[in-house]
């Protein structure tokens, strides 16, 4: 990274935006299966010089009676978006619980090739009995088992991405030598969850390795991020809480021998933008009026691990009932940040639902308010940047790009043009070399293993 | 299908073409990771009004010392090609041995959405200890186990593709109803290999179901094709053998209550084209001169299930040594068609290597010879069309499109323009309705199952 710190901005482009009733304001509310809709959004992100677009994911259907859910598979949709953009990064979520490391490593490396080095994998684990029921798994694994598998899964994927050295593909027409077997390495991974010989059946991708993002807020998730991730997505609702998280995870990365700048901390941010505060509030109120309140209350209660009947709109949260850590079907990061916010500002359930009955911090305001807030968090090392959640696409993102981004550029904290071509370039991350490139000691073992596959 | 039978033509676009030394004639021999290369090929196919482009696949690396192997993951590459073409179909191979039905069904349905209905899944099983070693499988399953899994895998995928009825996505802004849970069906599959509740987390795709292709030549493969496939890829080296196969598989389809026109029989064809026969022979000889003969002989012996030392260049095949069916690591279709060809024309090993040391019938000739041969096979019901294998891209395909296709059009057996928009349209296949659309009797069970996921 250069001496001057630079702000990083992604935008979540899942569904029709973060507001659950946002789709009811769209001309084409069936847009979640419409490539034109996502093309518009990705091109707006690129117009705003954003680092990346991001797709979250789920592998079980729910909530579809009231609004759009996840739908198109992320690596496929991101490949299509690579074709209609030139610079913006492409971050896709895929679960280590319901995938296989060889196929996943190959798929993300393929997108990295086809996008000329713009892809990232957001590695998540999944606790969801509904999802498990789609994958022939009778009982969803508990958190410890999920993260043990995730750690090993990530390790296998990183090894496979390294299995071809940069100069392994020769393609020398004169001699007829295509690849150099001495530079294509079996990974010979033999672990508890996976036994994978490798190598990957694909030459090394433009970024060396696709960028690795981690998004889990639990202790195990944070530990995984500190060890392996290039960026961490996190739910942070207070400035001080975010500073604590930032300090802690950077220190952990350093303890693993890493440079703290090589792990970007990117909290979620949910801006609702108006030319004046009144306009911003009206924008939100108009969308809120379209909400199914009962469905939202039930969703909120479920996320807190409690019964909807325990929530009273004009009372504080029932703190004593909220799950303290023995359940595995809730997000600890979400509960922690919600409780922190509610206690800190003495909020009622109605206030919380009003703010954003989801994980991410909402700011309803003018472009100036929002840009100032971003600058404060960035300068105060509460964040290296943000993962933006527009209320509804495309207008919520277009307003940010057209009115907030120019203010951030004027403050000198955000790029005016893309300076590189890959997502690693945008994030200020070095291109890693293959772990096998200098492995002189393992050369003989590799050559033996390769004998069988070449 | 309309009264007039129409020829169907796909082109295999895997690697750099069928000739193992073809890459040594290319300006950019590293083209297997170059989207521009595949874009050129797909656009040539579309200029020729071909039904589809086709990607074979493998999930273990081999042969990379001497030439290009499979590399970019098919669903990802086909999605990229969907963005640079408008009509041509997109057929991708994926193994039922090393995938999961939910993820695979979702991925192909996603490509079907993003390509506006142009995708097909070529379902294969994989016997390959090298591949198994990439998927934590100690021993590659035998043929019976592979096909038992494949049958159930295909069944689950077809059910998932049906799980949303066509009109399930309402997206009614006024009422706030997004999807109609009564038209989104749990599949509740509980089988020996898979337990999948469903529904898929994606609305029904443009083709209703992506086209299903089957490519295995064994008894189990043919049985699967007759029951489920819309098209079958097959290795046929003699006219009479192909007629026998055609009659047999159409009769099997009819025995399953299907219309024989709804299962297209598409043998492989490997044309080497020259303005004169001498030119065509020179084109082939020039490429043959670049071959690594030792590597080719070893590959051929391996495919026959015998030792390379047992092959003598100027002798017939050692028929008594060639595998008779007890091994599972060879393709029965390949062995059968090779033996048939060698016996029928009394060929030596050198002759066979010269023809094409792969599964598909080679014709070295002028556009007229090749067009006449295609017409004869089509009219004689030895084929409904062909899966073409160009010697090297892009020239081999461009020659076919520019010089053979016009002759086929003049004969009145091949389209001059695309008449529809989807691959089903090109293939003359009806769009299927969801099996759940009229399932009044199962409505209660479905509603119960859905209660848990909606």
User: Least CB-CB distance to B76: which of A71, A79, A195?
Assistant: A79
Report residues of chain B scoring pLDDT below 50. 1-2, 440-454
- Closest approach of chain A CAs to the CA of B347, in angstroms? 28
Burial of A123 (0-12, 13-18, 19+ CB in 10 A): buried
- Domain residues for the domain of B113 are 8-279+361-451
| Greater pLDDT, A20 or A378 | A378
Is B130 in Cβ contact with A197 (below 8 Å)?
A: yes
When pLDDT is averaged across residues A158-169 and rounded to a whole number, the result is 97
Partner-chain contact B135 A453, CB within 8 Å: no
pLDDT of A448 higher than 80 = no
Residue B65, domain member (yes or no): yes
Is residue B353 included in any domain, yes or no?
Answer: no
Residue pLDDT, tens place only, A392-423? 999 999 999 999 999 999 999 999 999 999 99
Task: Report if residue A114 sits inside a domain.
Answer: yes
Task: List all residues 6 or more positions away from A65 whose beta carbon is below 8 Å from its beta carbon.
Answer: B177, B178, B179, B180, B181, B454
End-to-end Cα, chain A, rounded Å? 40
Asked, for residue A3, whether it belongs to a domain, the answer is no
Tens of pLDDT, residues B90-108: 999 999 999 999 999 999 9
CA-closest candidate to residue B44, choices B17, B73, B71: B17
Give the pLDDT confidence score for residue A2 in this predicted structure: 47
Q: A184 in a domain, yes or no?
A: yes
- B201 to A63: CB separation less than 8 angstroms, yes or no: no
Does A330 or A325 have the greater pLDDT score?
Answer: A330
pLDDT in tens, A191-225: 999 999 999 999 999 999 999 999 977 889 999 99
Chain B residues touching A197 at Cβ < 8 A: 130, 133-134
Q: How many residues does chain B have?
A: 454
Residue A127 is labelled as binding a ligand: no
- Domain total in chain A: 1
- Residues A58 and A226: their CA atoms lie apart, in Å, by 24
Domain assignment present for residue A162? The answer is yes
- B198 interfaces chain A, CB cutoff of 8 Å: yes
pLDDT of residue B450: 37
Q: Kindly identify which residue of chain B lies nearest to residue A167, measuring between CA atoms.
A: B30
- CB of A166 closer than 8 Å to CB of A204: yes
Alpha helices by DSSP H, listed for A256-394, are 277-288, 293-304, 332-345, 349-355, 367-379
CATH value at residue A202 = 3.20.20.30
- A329 to chain B, any CB pair closer than 8 A? The answer is no
Q: Is residue B150 a part of any domain in this protein?
A: yes
Cβ distance B66 to A176 less than 8 Å, yes or no, reads: yes
For strand B119-124 and strand B89-95, is the pairing parallel, antiparallel, or unpaired?
Answer: parallel
ipTM comes to: 0.93
Q: Residue A420 corresponds to which tokens in the numbers above?
A: 């590189």
Q: Distance, in angstroms, between A339 CA and closest chain B CA?
A: 27
Nearest C-alpha in B relative to A198 = B134
Instruction: Among A77, A178, A196, select the one facing B64 at the smallest CB separation.
Output: A178
Rounded CA separation A428/A261 (Å): 8
Q: What is the pLDDT of residue B297?
A: 87
* Residues B59, B111 contacting (CB under 8 angstroms): no
As annotated, the binding site of B for FMN includes: 57, 93, 147, 218
Q: Which of A350, A274, A275 is nearest to A316 (CA)?
A: A350
Q: Is the pLDDT of residue A391 over 90?
A: yes
Pick from A21-30, A34-43, A137-146, B47-56: least confident: A137-146
Residue B176 has its nearest CB partner, among A70, A171, A292, at: A292
Task: Output phi, psi for A75, to 5 deg.
Answer: -65, -35
Residue of A nearest to B449 (CA): A130
Inside any domain, residue A352:
no
Q: In angstroms, rounded to a whole number, what is the distance separating the alpha carbons of residues A51 and A429?
A: 12
């Amino acid at each position: 990274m250069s001496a001057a710190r630079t702000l990083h901005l992604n935008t979540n482009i899942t569904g029709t935006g973060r507001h659950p009733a946002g789709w009811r304001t769209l001309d084409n509310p069936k847009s979640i299966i419409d490539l034109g809709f996502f093309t518009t959004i990705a091109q707006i992100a690129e117009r705003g010089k954003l680092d990346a677009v991001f797709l979250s994911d789920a592998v079980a259907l729910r909530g579809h009676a009231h609004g759009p859910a996840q739908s198109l598979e992320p690596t496929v949709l991101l490949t299509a978006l690579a074709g209609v953009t030139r610079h913006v990064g492409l971050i896709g979520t895929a679960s280590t619980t319901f995938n296989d490391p060889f196929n996943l490593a190959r798929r993300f490396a393929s997108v990295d090739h086809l996008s000329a080095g713009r892809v990232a994998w957001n590695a998540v684990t999944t606790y969801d009995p509904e999802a498990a029921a789609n994958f022939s798994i009778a009982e969803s694994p508990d958190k410890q088992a999920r993260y043990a598998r995730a750690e090993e899964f990530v390790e296998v994927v990183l090894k496979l991405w390294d299995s071809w050295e940069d100069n392994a593909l020769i393609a020398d027409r004169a001699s007829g030598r295509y690849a150099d077997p001495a530079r294509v390495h079996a990974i010979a991974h033999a672990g508890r969850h996976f036994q994978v010989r490798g190598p990957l059946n694909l030459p090394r991708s433009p970024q060396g390795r696709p960028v690795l993002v981690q998004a889990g807020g639990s202790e195990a998730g944070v530990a995984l991020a500190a060890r392996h991730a290039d960026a961490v997505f996190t739910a942070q609702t207070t400035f001080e809480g975010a500073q604590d998280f930032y300090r802690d995870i950077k220190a952990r990365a350093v303890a693993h021998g890493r440079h703290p700048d090589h792990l970007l901390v990117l909290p979620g941010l949910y801006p609702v933008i108006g030319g004046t505060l009144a306009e911003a509030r009206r924008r939100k109120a108009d969308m809120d009026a379209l909400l199914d309140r009962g469905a939202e209350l039930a969703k909120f209660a479920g996320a807190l691990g409690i019964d909807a009947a325990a929530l009273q709109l004009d009372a504080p949260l029932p703190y004593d009932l909220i799950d303290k850590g023995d359940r595995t079907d809730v997000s600890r990061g979400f509960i922690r940040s919600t409780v922190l916010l509610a206690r800190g500002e003495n909020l009622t359930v109605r206030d919380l639902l009003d703010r954003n009955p989801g994980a991410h911090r909402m700011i309803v305001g003018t472009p100036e308010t929002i840009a100032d807030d971003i600058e404060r968090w960035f300068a105060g090392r509460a964040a290296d940047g943000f993962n933006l959640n527009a209320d509804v696409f495309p207008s919520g993102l277009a307003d940010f790009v057209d009115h907030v981004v120019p203010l951030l550029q004027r403050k000198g904290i955000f790029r005016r043009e893309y300076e590189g071509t890959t997502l690693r370039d945008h994030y200020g991350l070095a291109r890693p070399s293959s772990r096998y490139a200098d492995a002189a000691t393992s050369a003989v073992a590799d050559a033996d293993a390769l004998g069988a596959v070449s």
